[in-house]
Amino acid sequence: MAEFSIRQIGDPILRTPTDQIHSVDDTVRRLISSMYEAMDRARGIGLAAPQIGRGVSIFVYGVGESRGAVINPQLTGEGMLAPTPRENSGSGPAAAAAQTRHHDAAEADEERFIKEGCLSVSGIYAPVPRYQKVTLTGLDEDGKHLELQVEGLLAACFQHEVDHLHGRLFVDRLRGELKRSAMQTLRARDYPSSHVKPAEKGRAGAQSQGPESQGLKSQGPNSSGSSFLAPGFTAR
């Protein structure tokens, strides 16, 4: 079986929406096997086809006892969780009080949110707006219809991976100080900040019945991997 390398931010295929699969055949199943192998080799908990250079609508996942492949996935979500924006509030007593509130809220975020990372964006981890629960529909590797209702880490993983299938990376969904920090890190590694898309208002997380949702990485016992790395999400 061919060994695939994980594509990194800056590779155009990570920004290209994928094509739907019209027939689930042995070629598709061989690709899925290669994706499992690449995910496991990278200690990930999820991987989307573009991350190994294939522009088709498939992702694989392995979170705890849950493991599978999804072809042509669609997501609906409920219960949005969004990290508190961390903005510069200016100066003076009111600003200092506001910054204290933001600091307290940020610490609370660290306890409530999964920190995402990505095999295609190494070394960056941050809480991302996600739905707490999602319903995912699509096809399994035998071409049969599937429907999964999940929450928590697995729900975040599904959203992250479906985003990959629509040319979106988790860093695109960051805002405020979190996004600035991510862009500084990328620039320090000689990645142009243009590789990160601006956050879109009202589109933080999986789209309700829409085409864009989300892959992961895991760092430690409470992490998730992805594209999440099994060394991409950190559950708090």
Binding region: 118, 160, 164
pLDDT score of 219: 37
- Return binding residues for Fe cation: 118, 160, 164
**Catalytic annotation on 161?**
yes
**Residues 45-72: pLDDT tens digits?**
999 999 999 999 999 999 999 999 999 9
Average pLDDT, the chain: 78
What pLDDT does residue 209 have? 32
- Out of 37, 65, 110, 161, the active site residue is 161
What's the pLDDT score for residue 4? 86
pLDDT at 199: 60
pLDDT of residue 161: 98
Which stretches in the chain have pLDDT values below 70?
Answer: 1-2, 81-112, 192-195, 198-236
- Report domain 12-84+113-234's class: alpha beta
Q: How far is CA 156 from the centre of its chain?
A: 7
Pairwise CA distance, residues 65 & 200, whole Å: 34
pLDDT at residue 188, as a whole number: 86
